[in-house]
């Protein structure tokens, strides 16, 4: 039996609705961490996961409080909206008998994106948010340790995942890989927070908790994402030479493709042999997508039964452990391209904002670099997993934060907080409800 049941859903939904603005985003992440994914409620004949109930509360809050005031539609916003509408529309046109799933894809993406886009609009707000987030995830890390030691999931799951005799903890998440990914992709943000000297105790607590979450998941994908985040952080020293580094990586991959007997994506299979996990599966699924390109490039496809020598017992299809391919199989090649454009625009905005703010605030520059490191960790991880549960919320949270923080810098104006007086707006200060004002560039 789940120790944190329906009562917590109602408590968190209420907190999201009525909490001061500086705590609203934190309550949404609490819902991600502590509301079991599989649990559903029937409301007027419709199935709502507990996470979607929390998201619904968030949207109601934003609309009722008019927290969208002052938002300007930018390129990242356009990319997210265009991708979600396109993939849902193409999915529906190809599968008219499943309109609910198409609508669900839009809700699962736009819901968290719109909510976090309205909540975190500046580097100062991001820093304050991270300062509290470090303590929030500590119980999740402890739950995963307890699950690993006692072989009992405290969120109602009756089955325990194992690999090589070791428990793969997942707590409230859909599986161990997404749970580990949650920790792995938060790590660079806590590292950045410690680096700038802000909320150092909370940053260290967050770093420790994120590391424990990654390790107790006992999954190779999150571990690779964790390492990717560390590598990206260490590239700070060469931040002005990233173009050269990107071209160098591309040249190396092309050279490997030429000299290797197998395609270059089979490097994941070799890595899997060294680290454990299902590296061959991740390589072969890419190979099969290329072989069957003609069957999915226009409208996507659900028919992947013949792709692998084994299939999922639930629906007799291949296990598509690749987020890029999931976008393509749902909405064709166009949807895959639009998904990649979201990632590209995040990097472009972060690079432009970092270049502009570098001479004014090293503190903000480092935070932007940490956010870019998280994007890189996701980019690497997308080759080994498709996000299907609470991790969708965390991914769109990151994109929304990037859109908001970079917009404040690139538009050369303070973030407009709902309820802010004209004098406060003109002074370049932001405040979260009754909180002390903090400077936009430095805190």
pLDDT digits (tens, 9 = 90+) for 134-183: 999 999 999 999 999 999 998 877 778 887 788 999 999 988 999 999 99
Q: Is the pLDDT of residue 414 over 80?
A: no
Contact between residue 440 and residue 408 where contact means Cβ atoms under 8 Å apart: yes
Contact between residue 196 and residue 366 where contact means Cβ atoms under 8 Å apart: yes
Contact between residue 369 and residue 363 where contact means Cβ atoms under 8 Å apart: no
Q: What is the pLDDT of residue 229?
A: 97
Confidence of residue 438 (pLDDT cuts 50, 70, 90): very low
Mean residue pLDDT of the chain comes to 88
The Cα 41–Cα 157 span in angstroms is 17
- For the ranges 260-274, 281-295, 354-368, which has the lowest average pLDDT? 260-274
Q: Is the pLDDT of residue 332 over 70?
A: yes
What SS3 class is residue 222? helix
Q: How many CB atoms lie within 10 A of CB 165?
A: 5
Instruction: List the chain domain ranges.
Output: 6-248+313-439
For the chain, the straight-line distance linking the first and the last C-alpha, in angstroms and rounded, comes to: 45
Instruction: Give me the percent of the chain exceeding a pLDDT of 90.
Output: 70
Confidence of residue 315 (pLDDT cuts 50, 70, 90): confident
Among 180, 184, 185, CA closest to 148: 180
Q: What is the pLDDT of residue 419?
A: 47
100 in the Ramachandran plot: left (φ > 0), alpha (ψ -120 to 50) or beta? alpha
Cα–Cα distances in angstroms (integers) from residue 154 to residues 48, 133, 159, 352, 355, in the given order: 21, 22, 11, 44, 46
Contact between residue 304 and residue 316 where contact means Cβ atoms under 8 Å apart: no
Among 282, 55, 5, 287, CA closest to 155: 5
Confidence of residue 273 (pLDDT cuts 50, 70, 90): low
Strand-pair category, 162-163 with 40-43: unpaired
Whole-prediction pTM value?
A: 0.90
pLDDT digits (tens, 9 = 90+) for 210-253: 999 999 999 989 999 999 999 999 999 999 999 999 999 999 99
Burial of 185-223, coded b for 16+ CB within 10 Å and e otherwise, reads bbbbbbbbbbbbebbeebbebbbebbbbbbbbbbbbbbb
The segment with the largest mean pLDDT, out of 31-40, 210-219, 275-284, 303-312, is: 210-219
Q: Is the pLDDT of residue 405 over 60?
A: yes
**More reliable by pLDDT, 443 or 77:** 77
What SS3 class is residue 38? coil
Q: Is the pLDDT of residue 130 over 80?
A: yes
The Cα 335–Cα 130 span in angstroms is 32
**More reliable by pLDDT, 435 or 282:** 282
Cα–Cα distances in angstroms (integers) from residue 77 to residues 72, 114, 282, 341, 431, in the given order: 9, 9, 31, 11, 24
Q: What is the pLDDT of residue 408?
A: 93
Q: What is the pLDDT of residue 46?
A: 54
Q: What is the pLDDT of residue 2?
A: 53
Q: DSSP 3-state helix, strand, coil percentages of the chain (rounded to 5)?
A: 65, 5, 30
Q: How far is CA 74 from the centre of its chain?
A: 20
Q: Is the pLDDT of residue 254 over 90?
A: yes
pLDDT, mean of residues 338-342 = 98
Q: What is the pLDDT of residue 14?
A: 96
Q: What is the pLDDT of residue 276?
A: 62
Helices (H) and strands (E) in the chain, counts: 18, 6
Q: What is the pLDDT of residue 161?
A: 80
Count Cβ atoms within 10 A of the Cβ of residue 236 and give its class: 0-12 exposed, 13-18 middle, 19 or more buried. Answer: middle
Among 281, 249, 203, 206, CA closest to 376: 249
pLDDT digits (tens, 9 = 90+) for 74-114: 999 999 999 999 999 999 999 988 888 888 888 889 999 99
The Cα 122–Cα 430 span in angstroms is 9
Confidence of residue 200 (pLDDT cuts 50, 70, 90): very high
């Amino acid at each position: 039996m789940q120790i944190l049941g329906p009562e917590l859903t109602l408590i968190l939904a209420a907190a999201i609705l009525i909490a001061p603005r500086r705590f609203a985003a934190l309550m949404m992440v609490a819902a991600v961490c502590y509301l079991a994914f599989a649990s559903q409620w029937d409301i007027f004949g419709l199935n709502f996961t507990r996470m979607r109930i929390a998201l619904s509360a968030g949207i109601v809050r934003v609309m009722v409080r008019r927290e969208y005031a002052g938002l300007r539609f930018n390129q990242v916003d356009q990319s997210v909206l265009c991708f979600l509408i396109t993939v849902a529309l193409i999915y529906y046109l190809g599968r008219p008998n499943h309109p609910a799933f198409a609508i669900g894809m839009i809700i699962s993406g736009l819901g968290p994106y719109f909510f976090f886009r309205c909540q975190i609009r500046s580097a100062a707000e991001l820093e304050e948010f991270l300062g509290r987030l470090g303590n929030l995830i500590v119980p999740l890390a402890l739950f995963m340790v307890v699950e690993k030691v006692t072989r009992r999931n405290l969120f109602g799951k009756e089955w325990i995942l194992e690999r090589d005799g070791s428990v793969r903890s997942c707590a409230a998440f859909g599986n161990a890989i997404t749970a580990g990914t949650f920790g792995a992709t938060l790590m660079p943000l806590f590292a950045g927070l410690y680096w700038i000297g802000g909320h150092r105790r909370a940053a260290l607590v967050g770093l420790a908790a994120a590391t424990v979450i990654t390790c107790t998941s006992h999954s190779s994908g999150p571990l690779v994402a964790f390492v990717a985040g560390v590598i990206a952080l260490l590239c700070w020293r060469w931040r002005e030479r990233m173009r050269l580094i990107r071209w160098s990586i591309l040249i190396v991959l092309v050279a490997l493709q030429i000299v290797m007997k197998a395609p270059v994506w089979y490097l994941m299979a070799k890595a899997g042999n060294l680290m454990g996990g299902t590296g061959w599966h991740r390589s072969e699924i890419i190979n099969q997508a290329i072989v069957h390109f003609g069957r999915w490039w226009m409208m996507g496809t659900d028919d992947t039964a013949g792709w692998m020598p084994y299939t999922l017992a639930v629906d007799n299809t291949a296990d598509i452990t690749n987020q890029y391919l999931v976008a393509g199989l749902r909405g064709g090649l166009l949807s895959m391209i639009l998904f990649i454009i979201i990632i590209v625009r995040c990097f472009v905005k972060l690079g432009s904002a970092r270049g502009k703010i570098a001479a004014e605030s090293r503190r903000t520059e480092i935070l932007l670099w940490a956010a870019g490191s998280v994007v890189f960790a996701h980019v690497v991880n997308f080759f080994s997993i498709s996000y299907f549960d609470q991790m969708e919320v965390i991914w769109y949270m990151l994109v929304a934060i990037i859109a908001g923080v970079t917009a404040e810098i690139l538009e050369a104006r303070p973030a407009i907080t709902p309820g802010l007086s004209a004098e406060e707006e003109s002074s370049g200060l932001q405040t979260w409800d009754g909180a002390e004002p903090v400077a936009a560039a430095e805190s």
